[in-house]
Amino acid sequence: MAIEELGADHLYQHCRLDGMKFKTTADLDTLDQPLGQERALEAIEFGVDIERSGFNVFAFGPTGVGKHRLIRSILERRAGNGGKQYDWCYVSNFKHPEKPRLLKLDAGLGAQLAKDMLQFIEDLLTSLPSSFQSDEYRTRRQEIEDEMTEHYEEAFSKLGAVARERNVALLRTPAGYTLAPTKDGEIVTPEEFAKLSPKEQEEIQEVINELQSELQEVVKKLPMLRREASHRIKALNQEINQLTVEQFIAWLENKYHEHPQIIAYLEEVKDFAIENAEDFLPEDENVEVERVKQQARRYSAFQVNVFVDNTDSQGQPIVFEENPTFQNLVGRVEYISQMGTLLTDFTLIKGGALHRANGGYLIIEARKLLSHLYAWEGLKRALQSHEIKITSLQEVLSLNSTVSLEPESVPLDVKVILVGEPILYYLLNRYDPEFGQLFHVAADFSADTDRDTLGQEMYARMVATLQQGKDLQALDKAAVERVIEHAGRLAEDGEKLSLNQDQLGQMMQEADYWARQAGHRATKQEDVELAIRKQENRHSKVREQLSEQVLRELRMIDTAGDKVAQVNGLSVLQLGEHSFGSASRITATARLGSGKVIDIEREVKLGGEIHSKGVLILSAYLANRYARERPLPLAASLVFEQSYGGVDGDSASCAELCVLLSAIADLPLSQNLAVTGSMNQLGEVQAIGGVNQKVEGFFDICQARGLTGDQGVIIPAANRVHLMLREDVREAVAAGTFHIYTAVHVEDVMQQLKGLAPGELVDGEYSEGSFNRRICDRIDQLQVLRQSFNGREHEPEQADRDE
């Protein structure tokens, strides 16, 4: 028999740091780089250093192993030696306002230019009105107006003189100019005009008509005189504007003479300001000085939108975008509402994470990125085109019918590091053909490290690193050894240590709390034990409720005696980060049929795919073992009793086969044992997960009912290295009140449960008294029973009923 009972010394891997001479972690050197992550470290350093397109990094691994901390530490070392940084600004495109211009300026220069342009606006608001109120301007303007008036009066004077010579007076009335006949210098009244002879009246009318034509010609020339005067006044205004504007622009040009982009921009500002200087003239000449700055804000055309300001940046930027939506990545154009209308201009352009990280590094959580609409596509487009084009999501999806801005694209030079789970990396690599072109570098983080002598010593230094990094009091040597043992328990492997720094750090912080509560100057082993026990107790409510249901016999679990077609299976329940073991009763039925084994869990859609696979495997083993050369005249069913949720995994397939064999041959199975382990088609027992929790789950039930000395658990032999059991379980095994067996074949499990040997196969038959002989005999009986029915015509009907 290949089954073996384990002693207490095989149930736990103790940590002994005898080769290290230290009293507390304060005596240990901290680690310069994370333990066990050499592969990921090398990949990240390569991806960061290589300056080639497409060599972005996808860092993946289990949660809590310090992916973000390692990435940030590498980037911070590299960023300190980074290249030159720039400010990115949008300014007005005076010819095409819908297409703002982009300025790339040295770090700090953008903010200074924005400040100077705001000052430029304020200067114009104060200086231009003063210039137009000066005596010189008023005198020159008055000269133009007087000259126009002089021409105006001269034309009417000449016409009036001609009229007087012909006895006609040119009169100015509120309605305009009119002509009237005169006699001896006096105006002829209508009554006097009526007394004149028709001939005299006709002659006077002819003269008036001629003069009226001349008057119209003079009046027609008046708008041209006004136009000419207006042009001269406008020219005078532009002259004054130009003198004022050029004065301030010249100062700016002198300040920024080494920056061609700014000089070109200032030229456009000067031309536009001169042409539109009247915008700076108040309707009310008595403008309060304190309102100048408020008014200056309204002149957005002359402002500078510094949407990326690197004034205070040191080295290359490192940006972690916590909310990687499409607009948070590529930027957006905001709108303001005025009178029910949405308005925008270049000052409302906001930069995104790609803009802030330009020239440096951008870190994004892959799961968050993929959960936002079009964010992944937007990031890919920017990386492929090497530029950032600010567009709204509505425009990208062709949902926007309003006119918006088209800002000039920003050249992009950034290294993107995605951080996520392995499943996301492999799914993207499989289903997105563009992913491999953009993320050449895979940084795979390890979940655990080897637990050898060197590994334990390095782990002690990692504990010291965490202790100092979290500002905890030092741990003594025994406490460090207990922490390492707990790390082995977290790894679910006696030969491995978990690298989950989050869980480890949380436990160390709790141990530090209890040590301070107890007045210990250094954290002791008892403090670590208490922290672990408190953590488990906080999450043990559901486990205790299930145990209570068993003790009250609400959940039927037998821990003594023998039963036919019934066995104790073991499972693990996961609640958040906490898991615990639980026992389940597995039962089977067997009768005459056509060889079909019904998985009730699958039939009612409570069984997962892996569990269904396990049932099919044991069905294949059953047919191959006992009916290789003949039909299997059997119909059977399997079920987890009192299971009302999903059942998945194949770790119960050994137990399910044993209970099925028990049902077939009417073989009682021991109820004081529980079974866990999966099997293959050859009957070999395979390793399963959660072995520690499963053993402890059944132990808790047996202990609560009272240990009888014959209770225990059968586990796969391959899981022997994974055992890191609680102290009370180890004490019970050492006292002989609880037993742990390992098996390599499913027949070993059956033998331990039944107490019968599997037997040897001689001339096609198993030896007498073996459980295999009893199973074969029962199958022979079913075969005879099947043939006893009324001919073959009844066989299909019987098969239908069985199914």
pLDDT digit string (tens) for 658-667? 999 999 999 9
Question: Which region among 141-150, 174-183, 342-351, 788-797 has the lowest average model confidence (pLDDT)?
Answer: 788-797
Q: What is the four-CA torsion angle of 216, 219, 220, 222, rounded to 10 degrees? A: 170
pLDDT at 194: 74
Do residues 33 and 41 lie in contact, with contact meaning Cβ atoms separated by under 8 Å? yes
- Mention every residue, 6+ apart, whose C-beta is less than 8 A from residue 797: none
Q: In terms of Cα–Cα distance, which of 745, 718, 750, 695 is closest to 572?
A: 695
pLDDT at 88: 94
Question: Which region among 400-404, 505-509, 528-532, 533-537 has the lowest average model confidence (pLDDT)?
Answer: 400-404
Helix 609-626 to helix 771-787 angle (10° resolution) is 80
The arithmetic mean of pLDDT across residues 71-91, rounded, is 85
Helix (H) or strand (E) holding 268: helix 260-275
Do residues 169 and 163 lie in contact, with contact meaning Cβ atoms separated by under 8 Å? yes
pLDDT at 312: 84
**What's the rounded Cα separation, in Å, for the pair 603 and 21?**
61
Q: In terms of Cα–Cα distance, which of 458, 392, 429, 386 is closest to 28?
A: 458
**What residue type is 477 in one-letter code?**
K
**Is the pLDDT confidence value at 790 over 80?**
no
**What's the rounded Cα separation, in Å, for the pair 661 and 654?**
11
Please state, for a pLDDT cut of 70, what percent of the chain lies above it.
91
- 119-156 pLDDT, tens digit per residue, is 888 888 887 777 777 777 778 777 777 777 777 667 77
- Mention every residue, 6+ apart, whose C-beta is less than 8 A from residue 452: none
**What's the rounded Cα separation, in Å, for the pair 158 and 716?**
128
pLDDT at 347: 87
**Is the pLDDT confidence value at 172 over 50?**
yes
In a 13 Å sphere around the CA of 168, the CA atoms on its Cβ side amount to: 22
Question: 176-183 and 168-173 as β-strands: parallel, antiparallel, unpaired?
Answer: antiparallel
Residue tagged active-site, from 571, 619, 637, 651: 651
**Is the pLDDT confidence value at 353 over 90?**
yes
**What residue type is 572 in one-letter code?**
V
Residue tagged active-site, from 67, 415, 524, 694: 694
**What's the rounded Cα separation, in Å, for the pair 322 and 330?**
14
**Is the pLDDT confidence value at 690 over 60?**
yes
**Is the pLDDT confidence value at 164 over 60?**
yes
- 745-772 pLDDT, tens digit per residue, is 999 999 999 988 888 888 778 888 899 9
**What's the rounded Cα separation, in Å, for the pair 543 and 704?**
13
* CATH class assigned to 545-766: alpha beta
pLDDT at 79: 79
- Mention every residue, 6+ apart, whose C-beta is less than 8 A from residue 596: 635, 636, 802, 803
Question: 566-575 and 578-591 as β-strands: parallel, antiparallel, unpaired?
Answer: antiparallel
| Cα distance from N-terminal residue to C-terminal residue, the chain | 37
Token look-up 């202990």 returns: 703
Q: In terms of Cα–Cα distance, which of 21, 70, 31 is closest to 468?
A: 31
- 583-615 pLDDT, tens digit per residue, is 999 999 999 988 888 888 898 888 889 989 999
The reply to whether 694 belongs to the active site is yes
pLDDT at 297: 46
- 49-69 pLDDT, tens digit per residue, is 998 999 999 999 998 898 998
CA 691 to chain centre: 34
SS3 663: helix
CATH of 12-35+447-538, one of 3.30.1330.10, 3.40.50.300, 3.40.50.150, 1.10.8.60: 1.10.8.60
pLDDT at 458: 94
Distance (Å) of CA 208 to CA 153, 186, 221, 634: 20, 16, 20, 135
Distance (Å) of CA 258 to CA 110, 252, 264, 471: 14, 11, 11, 50
DSSP 356-414: HHTTSEEEEEHHHHHHSTTHHHHHHHHHHHTEE----HHHHTT---S----PPPEE---
Please state, for a pLDDT cut of 90, what percent of the chain lies above it.
53
pLDDT at 493: 86
- 1-11 pLDDT, tens digit per residue, is 578 999 999 99
**Is the pLDDT confidence value at 352 over 80?**
yes
Task: Please work out, in degrees rounded to the nearest 5, the angle formed at the alpha carbon of residue 650 by the alpha carbons of 645 and 655.
Answer: 95
Question: Which region among 45-54, 198-207, 407-416, 666-675 has the lowest average model confidence (pLDDT)?
Answer: 198-207
Bridge-partner residues for 341, per DSSP? 338
Q: In terms of Cα–Cα distance, which of 488, 451, 463, 450 is closest to 22?
A: 463
**What's the rounded Cα separation, in Å, for the pair 441 and 51?**
13
Q: In terms of Cα–Cα distance, which of 535, 527, 611 is closest to 576?
A: 535
The arithmetic mean of pLDDT across residues 342-364, rounded, is 90
The arithmetic mean of pLDDT across residues 341-345, rounded, is 79
pLDDT at 792: 52
- 319-330 pLDDT, tens digit per residue, is 999 999 999 999
Q: Quick count: other Cβ atoms within 10 Å of Cβ 166? A: 13
Token look-up 């102290």 returns: 727
pLDDT band at 294 (very low <50, low <70, confident <90, very high): very low
| Beta strand spans in 516-634 (E) | 562-564, 566-575, 578-591, 596-599
SS3 338: strand
Token look-up 């951080």 returns: 419
Classify domain 37-85+313-445 by CATH architecture.
3-Layer(aba) Sandwich (3.40)
